[in-house]
Amino acid sequence: MSKPQDVCAHPGLMHPDLALPLLLEQVTPLEDTETVQLSDSLGRVLAEDLASSIDLPPFDNSAMDGYAYRYADLPEKASLKLLGSSFAGHPFEGQYQPGGCVRIMTGAPVPAGFDTVQMQEKTEANGELITIEPCKQAGDNVRGRGEELLAGTKVLRAGTLIGAAEMGVMATIGISSLRVIRKVKIAFFSTGDELRPVGSELAPGQIYDSNRYSIQGLLSRAGVEWQDLGVIADDPEAIRQAFRNASASADMVITSGGVSVGEADFTKQILDEEGKISFWKLAIKPGKPFALGHIGKAVFCGLPGNPVSSMVTFYKLVWPLLHKLQGLPQPTPLLLDAKLTAPIRKQPGRVEYQRGILSRNQDGELEVAVTGSQGSGMLTSMSLANCFIILEQMQGDTPAGTRVTVEPFNSVLC
């Protein structure tokens, strides 16, 4: 397989699936870690294996509200003597006695000597005597100590992305603080003389800079720390200064615009002087041009300026790079099959990520249609969509009724 440097000279377009491993080779995972409190750990990447110091559950406890008894004491429906009660947080303090039972609530400890719980609905209380239908087997409705895991078992591994469930798991084993990979720092800016910041008036020929906001949204969802360096004019010295500022403390610098043919000169010239850069022509639509390089210690990602292209290249290329930087496994998109409800026009040559609306029809079948016009400048197509319709490189026009591959938008895009 060709090396990234050779790719500039490659006359054709490279399939994104081939390009991604080459792009990933250029990124080294962060090693710095920091300690955070459990309540601040959402979205962070665990930097240590965590083992439980306790059995889970830590004691035999009841899965039901009812009565605890000893299975051998009740060969058939009969009355047992009520000895006391065990509530969650308030264990029974008495002793087991043959022929006795204990009122017990869900989560309460099953007292020593007892081994089975019958649910309340299958019992009848007459003062101190409780008539109980026997359970099917000993141990019914008891959650045994250690049945989920034993002390010493590894519960979470380094490199795990911490979500709500992981926070709960850590709390279950009593972890109050943990080591995580430090947050990735990103600096980003837009380039283009035509771009104006929102809140200003547009002169003829000008448009509002939208990419900085969609990129900001993507970066926030990706759980990284970001710094917005604004709009930079198509001016070599301004771009040079912006790159220097951006790379001073960031792990990754992301720009949008100025990487398409004929326009990349400043970016290329300056990155050649200040760092290293490769231009990639990927067989992906939207988003053909993409630049990757290094400035100082920072990785540089140059996204195309067209708003949909910049979002798609971020999602398909930058997001995987961010996974690698954070020491996370690569994303594995959920791909579904759905029936096209209207034809799609496509020229063979590039993998297309058309914006689609996926739904389930009355027969329970998944179906999908494009959002409308698919211009790479039409950002409303992203906002209307809930999925990508992925059309393979050599696919041409696709009639209604065809089953197509669909990638639902995930938490980064929603």
Tell me which residues touch ligand AMP (CB under 6 A): 190, 192, 194-195, 207, 209-211, 256-258, 260, 263, 304-307, 377
State the nearest-atom distance from the C-beta of 22 to ligand AMP, in Å: 22
Contact present, 400 and 342 (Cβ < 8 Å): yes
Here's the x/- map for Mg ion, 300-339, by CB under 5 A: it reads as -----x----------------------------------
The smaller minimum CB distance to Mg ion, of residues 162 and 311, is found at 311
Indicate which single residue of 257, 293, 327, 408 sits in contact with Mg ion (rule: CB under 5 A).
257
Residue 320 binds which of ligand AMP, Mg ion, none (CB < 5-8 A, kind-dependent): none
Contact present, 59 and 88 (Cβ < 8 Å): no
The smaller minimum CB distance to Mg ion, of residues 277 and 338, is found at 277
The smaller minimum CB distance to ligand AMP, of residues 116 and 306, is found at 306
State the nearest-atom distance from the C-beta of 405 to ligand AMP, in Å: 28
C-alpha pair distances (Å), 298 with each of 34, 131, 183, 279, 408? 20, 73, 14, 17, 31
Indicate which single residue of 66, 91, 111, 192 sits in contact with Mg ion (rule: CB under 5 A).
192
**Which of 267, 272, 274 minimizes the C-alpha distance to 289?**
267
Q: Where are the alpha helices (DSSP H) in 140-210?
A: 164-172
Q: What is the DSSP string of 357-402?
A: EEEE-TTS-EEEEE-S---TT-THHHHH-SEEEEE-TT---B-TT-
**Which of 308, 313, 312 minimizes the C-alpha distance to 377?**
308
The smaller minimum CB distance to ligand AMP, of residues 331 and 377, is found at 377
- Encoded tokens for 260: 């398409």
Residue nearest to ligand AMP (CB): 305
The smaller minimum CB distance to Mg ion, of residues 124 and 265, is found at 265
Residue 62 binds which of ligand AMP, Mg ion, none (CB < 5-8 A, kind-dependent): none
409 CB neighbour count, 10 Å cutoff: 16
Q: Round to whole Å and give the CA distance between 159 and 347.
A: 41
**Selected range binding Mg ion among 15-23, 59-67, 179-187, 191-199, rule: CB under 5 A:** 191-199
Here's the x/- map for Mg ion, 150-189, by CB under 5 A: it reads as ----------------------------------------
Residue carrying structure tokens 């090396």: 3
Q: In what order do the strands lie in the sheet with 129-132?
A: 116-119, 66-69, 100-104, 78-86, 129-132, 123-126
The smaller minimum CB distance to ligand AMP, of residues 192 and 327, is found at 192
The smaller minimum CB distance to ligand AMP, of residues 288 and 323, is found at 288
Binding site for Mg ion (CB under 5 A): 192, 257-258, 305
